[in-house]
Amino acid sequence: MSVVLLVFGFSIALSVCAVALILKICHRKGWYDHLDERKIHSGNIPRMGGIGFTLAFFVIMTAIGIVYKISGVDVVRFFPCAAAMIITLLSGVYDDFRPMSPRYKLLIQIAAALCVTIPGFTFERLLYGGTGILTDLGIFSYPITILWVVGLTNAINLMDGVDGLAGGLSALIVFFLGLIFFYFAGVSKSVFLCACLLGVLIGFLAFNAPFPRAKIFMGDGGSQFLGLTLALLVVMKDQFKPSSLPVFYAAALFAIPILDTTAAVWRRLRDGKKIYDPDKSHLHHKLLNLGLNARGVISVVFGLQIILGVLTFISVRLEGAPSLLVLGAAYFIALSFFIAIHFLNRRTAKEPMAENAGNNSEN
């Protein structure tokens, strides 16, 4: 366990140094985040922070790979996954400078997902316990995993709308993933990777948290890399952890970005828009409309994520009906939260309209 903490500490330190260097380069080169329909910030904020924490992650990850190779663990299967990370990062960085066609972005994300699934990193089950069609995925494991990787890559990107939100939310998810992996397999490669990713995210958040405001954003390169890496961690397998986390447990842990993205797709299809058209109706926009500032938004979202993480961890440790009841409670809380925020936001939006109508009738 002391080695895991050492990896965690080195990851924080290296990330802080790398992000600080990228911050200076961005100011020197004028690499600032561009504004669009879903952005809410103002001023010149550098947008390449993701390069900093991904570089730190790759350095630490390479060191972990060397150690495990020396120990006799086959890491060749992980090489295509590293290629997927690099492809996703580079395409995202390119998109930061020259917006890419959504069609090409999707093709690149599918290619990255194939790099994950071809070595055998896939979902295997819907739930723990039992056998047969109700739990085992069989031939559906590959399409479900591809959908998972592509969907989560975009979901984390869409959550990146408030200072510290995407990075902090991802850090909490990684923390609970690490706890789950440690519970099942002790100190394994998956636990090391979680410790590394958590460390580099904390190092990045030192520059991205809203205290008082972010000094740098992660950019599309960082957010898409983060989404793909989180998706990969869930289906990661090694000799210490030979199976992936079942779909329903993984989805409960990632319920916030999944529900936010699902709502966005439904909203745009309902309104006759393209699903990749940006808008200001994501969860963080709705919370801002309710009067919260950036710190209030991340406090609410992080509080919900902690609840979901604790419930998911408890459900993983239980068996049978108790496990399903706790898992169901996680889904119920997440859905209830999103529904409540949706209707509160609608009521808030209608109140000014009603006041304006009253004022016009008086005139």
Q: Which residues of the chain have pLDDT under 50?
A: 41, 70, 72-73, 353-363
Query: How far apart are alpha carbons 284 and 292 in whole angstroms?
Result: 9
Determine what percent of the chain falls in helix, strand and coil, rounding each to the nearest 5: 75, 0, 25
Which pLDDT score is estimated for 351? 61
Task: Give the per-residue pLDDT at 359.
Answer: 47
Give the rounded distance of the alpha carbon of 41 from its chain centre.
21
> Judging by beta carbons within 10 Å of its beta carbon (0-12, 13-18, 19+), is residue 307 exposed, middle or buried?
middle
Query: Smallest Cα–Cα separation from 147: which of 272, 29, 235, 241?
Result: 235
Q: What is the pLDDT of residue 44?
A: 74
Domain of 333 in residue numbering reads as 2-362
In the prediction, which pLDDT does 189 show? 81
**Residue in 196, 151, 162 with CA at minimum distance from that of residue 41:** 162
Supply the DSSP string of 92-123, one letter for each residue: HHHHHHSPPPHHHHHHHHHHHHHHHHTTT---
Tell me if residue 124 falls in helix, strand or coil: coil
pTM of the model: 0.89
Q: Is 320 left (phi over 0), alpha (psi -120 to 50) or beta?
A: left
Helix (H) or strand (E) holding 327: helix 320-362
pLDDT of res. 245: 87
Q: How many CB atoms lie within 10 A of CB 42?
A: 8
Assign 136 to helix, strand or coil: strand
Please compute, for residue 55, the number of CA atoms within 13 A of its CA located in the half-sphere on the CB side.
Answer: 17
* pLDDT number for residue 170: 96
Q: Write out pLDDT tens, residues 203-220.
A: 999 999 888 788 899 989
Half-sphere exposure of 259 (CA within 13 A, CB side): 23
Please tell me the total count of domains within the chain. 1
Whole-angstrom distance, CA of residue 219 vs CA of residue 240 = 34
What is the predicted pLDDT for the residue at 329?
97
Residues 6+ apart with CB under 8 A from 209: 163, 164, 168
* Residue 136 backbone phi and psi in degrees, to 5: -80, 135
Give the pLDDT confidence score for residue 358 in this predicted structure: 47
What are 1's two structure tokens? 């366990």
